[in-house]
Structure formats: C-alpha cells, structure tokens
Copies of this chain bind each other. A is one copy, B any other.
Amino acid sequence: MFPKNAWYVACMPQEIDEKPLGRRVCGEPIVFFRGPENQAVGLEDWCPHRGAPLSLGQVVEGKLVCGYHGLEMGCEGKVVAMPGQRVRGFPSVRSYPVIERYGFVWVWPGDAAKADPALLPHLAWAEDPAWAYGGGMYHVKCDYRLMIDNLMDLTHEKYVHATSIGQKELDEVVPQTVTEGDLVITKREMPGVKAPPFWATAMRGNGLDGEATVDRWQRCRFMPPSSVMIDVGVALAGQGGFDAPAPAKTSGIVVDLITPETETSIWYFWGLARNFRPEDKALTASIREAQGKVFLEDLEMLEAQQRNLSAQPERKLLSLNTDLGGVQARRIIERLVAQEQAS
C-alpha cells in the first residue's frame, strides 16, 4: 500500500559509480546505472534474452551489458546490440524515470507519463554551501508507515534513545500537529531544559557550552509519499529558541527519506543537514556515526513491532494525540493511493 506515482530515493550516487545496482523499489525490481552522459538510469532488472538480472552485468560506454551472454541494453530499455544477433525485434524492458538531485538518485516507480521533476521535494539545504550533510542507509523489515509513525511521534526518543537524544521532558509536552494540504507538521517545544548527550556534544562541536540550559525544539514535517524532515535544535535558554540568533543555537534538519522495498520492508535513507561549521568534515563524520547508532535503536523496535502486527493484522491500535502526525500522514497516503487506483 504505497503511492507509485511519486519520487522515491533509489540510492546514493556513489552506489552506482562503480557498477550497476539491483534494488527493489515499491515491489519493482530495478537496475540502476550510469548512462553515456553519466546520468543515472533505472531499468527493469531483467534481461529479455534469458531473464538474468541485468544488475549482474557491466556498464560499457554507457550501455548496460548483460553479464550472462552480452546483450547490450540502452538507457531507454531498448536492446541496442548483442554479438552475432539482429536485435531489432527483441522485446524492450521497462524504463523508470530517474533524476539525480540533492545528493540522491530518485526514481518514479509508477506511470512514467506522470513523472514530473517539479514534484521532487525541494531540499534547499542540499544546494546551499552554508549547509553540510552526512547520512547513511539502513534496510529495515517494516511497513514504511511504521517508520513515518516513528518519526512523527518523537516521544519515543525518551524510551528508545534514552542515552543519546532522549530526555524526560519529551513526554511532558503534548506536541501540536497541523495539516497544510499534503504537508503535516508536528511541533514540540521543550523550554529551559538540559541538552541530552547527543545535543550537548553538538553544542560543543559548535563552540557552545554543552552544559548550558537550553530551549529545545522539534518540528517534524511529513511530505508524501514518505519523507519526514525534522527541524531540530537547541538554543541558549531565553534567546528565542528556533528563532534565536545563530551564535546562540545549534540546529539542523534530520533527513528521513523512506523508500518501500516491499509491503513490509524499506530502504531507509537517514542523515543530518546542519548549518554550523559546514566545512568541518570530521564533525560531519562524528555526527553521522552518532546518528547512525541512534537510528539503529529504532530498527529492533520497528522490526519487532512489524512481526507483532503481521501476526495479528486485524487487531486495532490506539491513535492518541501524540500519534496525530502519523495518523494525518496515513490519511494523505491513503487518499493518494485511492486516487491512483481510481485513475
């Protein structure tokens, strides 16, 4: 149950620099590689000759050469050559719209005629030299909507991430959720608190006192089909919080780009964009490592939750005020899927 007429992150650019990559997106087995102008390409991962996965092949001069018998596949899914063969009548394979932007390769697994680059989310930080980004990818065996729920209700940080970004004030404040068209925003403010370890370290990395009392904020923004961008940060107490002047705060955007593999598994692209000391690559690396550990803690919980739900699929869950972000996100997703099925 996912919209297929949408842009999803397929991979990071470097995953296809050396050789083709086979990856299933929204149930579609796709091979990603670089064409003659180095552009990212996505084709069905199937050689029309004998059904071998093209992803086991090699890219030669921008064509994908099947690793079994040498059929040469062009970037539009048409067979362009095969040694000793006339290929004009050979069947083509499906081609998927692909765009490389913002440091990701995006694919449109649905109706290619509807793929509009203007529908890509706008990730301003990715094109602004005042920002730096570091991140990674995890494979998680859960419905992508469980990950959206997770990210739209950060109350869980207190329990799942107790030693890094959790703190007791997280569930003392009920978050506020608003829906603006297809955008769902859930906000939580925690004024006058101590920064938890992850943020204390980040403050020190930014030249601030990690022990200072701070105002902490979280603004989770869901955009369909399945991205959650979270404005996060801490400012010295009383300086305006989210709106505090730059020298008084340490902030960033938690980037969560979630790509369904199957109905119950995802490729989870996570990271942090920050606008302090963007040139400091060692800081990027250390934040990335710390964030990677934090996000690993979600995996165990989400996969266990998925196993429980799969065993009792009919059982009802509770939707509390803290769950409102996830609930609204699911409504938007359901409407988009219904629209797709109607057309």
Q: Known interface pairs A51-B305, A53-B308, A56-B300. Does A69 touch B322 (Cβ–Cβ under 8 Å)?
A: yes
Cβ of B312 and Cβ of A155 under 8 Å apart? no
Given known A68-B156, A69-B153, A308-B29, contact A174–B53 (CB-CB < 8 A): no
A118 within 8 A of B: no
CB proximity of A77 to chain B, nearest CB, Å: 15
Also in contact, A156 and B69, with CB within 8 A (given A29-B311, A317-B51) = yes
B68 touches A160 (CB 8 A): yes
Chain B residue with minimal CB distance to A58?
B159
The answer on a CB contact under 8 Å between A304 and B159 is no
In the assembled complex, the CB of A232 is this many whole angstroms from the nearest CB of chain B, namely 19
Quick check: is A130 within 8 A (CB to CB) of the other chain? no
CB neighbours of A52 from chain B (8 A): 301, 304-305, 308
Q: Does A56 contact B311, Cβ atoms closer than 8 Å?
A: no
- Is A231's CB within 8 Å of the partner chain B? no
**Chain B positions within 8 Å of A149 at CB level:** 50
Knowing A49-B318, A50-B317, A315-B51, say if A68 contacts B308 (CB, 8 Å): no
Contact B48 A318, beta carbon cutoff 8 Å: yes
Q: Interface 1/0s, chain A 116-159, versus B by CB < 8 A?
A: 00000000000000000000000000000000010001011011
Determine how close the nearest CB of chain B comes to the CB of A79; give it in whole angstroms: 9
Judged by a CB distance under 8 angstroms, whether A46 is at the interface is yes
**Chain B residues, Cβ within 8 Å of A155:** 69-70, 83-84
**In contact, B308 and A46 (Cβ under 8 angstroms):** yes
A146 to chain B, nearest CB (A): 8
A311 proximity list for chain B (CB < 8 A): 29
A318 and B90 within 8 A (CB): yes
Nearest 3 CB-CB pairings of A with B: A83-B171, A52-B305, A51-B308
List the interface of chain A (C-beta within 8 A of B): 29, 45-46, 48-53, 56-57, 65-70, 82-85, 90-91, 149, 153, 155-156, 158-160, 171-174, 300-301, 304-305, 307-309, 311-312, 315-318, 320-323
Known: A46-B315, A56-B300, A83-B155. 7 other contacts (CB 8 A): A46-B308, A46-B312, A50-B317, A51-B317, A52-B304, A69-B322, A84-B173
